[in-house]
A and B are shown apart, each in its own frame.
Chain A
Amino acid sequence: MTTAIHTEQTSPDVAGVDKHSGKDVLLKVRGLRKHFPIKSGFIFSREVAAVKAVDGLNFDIYRGETLGLVGESGCGKSTTGRTILQLHRATEGLVEYEGVELTTLKGNKLREMRREMQIIFQDPYASLNPRMTVQRIVAEPLLVHGIGDSKSREKRVADLLELVGLNPYFADRYPHEFSGGQRQRIGIARALALDPSFIVCDEPISALDVSIQAQVVNLLEQLQADLGLTYLFIAHDLSMVRHICDRVAVMYLGKIVELAESEELYTNPLHPYTQALLSAVPVPDPNVEDSRQRIILKGDLPSPANPPVGCNFNTRCPVAVDVCHELEPDLIEILPEHWVACHRVT
């Protein structure tokens, strides 16, 4: 079965079950674009160009799963996460959360939706206000939403800190007194304060020591199991997400080039970009490792302000043909639950 998802196809089914898979769709992204204008001019500046950070994304996130989002630095992963959360407003396209369209929401309605969706950041140093105590940081979401009085908030903060493995005794300390891993836990506690169902994890472990990474990943997995969370897990390298994610989307220059279940993607990568990325991942088995062929991509990542015509991977693709320079490939379901955007894959 091959079906292309287009923006127009946005089916009116409400918070419902996806037609193809029978899975429970929590979040639906259709034709999502985020362009950052490049302006120039003295006082009355005009838009002269745009950085196409996110350029037409279509995918679903199923309830309770972890969807990995992988790609090189600058390909638009963070922008995707932030645009879904309405931290950036989309230039175009739809984001539907349980049937509620978010991109046009404003004011209190949007604020209400924010209780459902939270974010965990990469940099544990920049993500906590250095002038606030842990207590205030973790309690802020509750305060903003007017939940509880100061007593009950204090209790809730203590519970949350315990939940993420921190001693509530230290709630009156400032962030600089904690280590990177501990700070990341504080950030997780803040994200959990409003009891969300969906969390964007923007490279939550990339900045941590390897020994701490496993701890934080385990914490995230345990929280997912206990609280029934859904994750969009952003990472810049494939090896990291393999055992965390149920499905993985590979991004290149603002577009998804391949989307499949983790095992399927690792064992049967179809897009030449995915193949190149995977060829760079070391394999634990020495026999396989010896025969591993690295595919070195030529050239640099093109500027997202001026992407190539046609398939935007064509400047670096080892198998590009004429059509790749003319037509943009659609994301097509080549195999069940395995989507690829490539003219050469059929």
Chain B
Amino acid sequence: MTGGPLGKGENMNAVEFEHVKKQFPRMGYMALDDVNVQINEGEFVTILGSSGCGKTTFIKMINRLYKPDFGHIRLFGKDIQNSNPVLLRRKIGYVIQQVGLFPHMTVAENIATIPRILKWDKTKIENGIEEMLQLVSLDPKEFRDRYPAQLSGGQQQRVGLARALVANPPIMLLDEPFGAIDAINRENLQNEIKRIHAQSRKTYIFVTHDIREALKLGTKVIIMNKGHIIQYASPKEIINNPCDNFVIDLLKTLNIQNNYVIDGAGI
């Protein structure tokens, strides 16, 4: 199966949220509170916001792990409520927040999960594994037969990325994929994912806590607070025209981080 768009139509948004609301039981505020957003095909959207603001909820609504209480979500113009959730998910790459590699499968088997379900033939699967491992800079010979427990945190996250990318899905959901990685490796992975996205021109939605990461990777940035989208704009626009105090405060932390980095380098 090729990774063509989920439906037909010109100039359609890859992802569209319309008045989407979601509340969990025993929660004071809504996890998503009347969220409206339109994401163009080929965009690399980063989602930034503090813990508990609804980033993961936003992601899980797209692959129907969560169901909206209200509103509509459309992928390429098609309301996902009307599509088969299993088939929908097979066209969406998903990297979960806690890596989520299957511990009883080798690296190769993890990457082959979706291809096997899609019944690819053997050579195509083997080529896919090889290609993906090279893409995330892991030597296939060395890594393909290892189990996740035999990998470092950063290597696991690379495999998680490879597993999500292998079927070349038109939409990629990445929930803090570089969460537990040191600064240098993180930088490398950021460059890699940017390169991978640029080659593929697929739609990426990428959650992060790190404002520098959000501004560096995103062609557009979503800033969230307590279930609301505060601002949705290009990184440049966000820096030049922060739309409210929350965003200004976020940007201040960026300056502090920058100063810190510069000071640190001076020592």
Do these two chains really belong together in a complex? Answer: no
B-side residues, CB < 8 A to A, are none
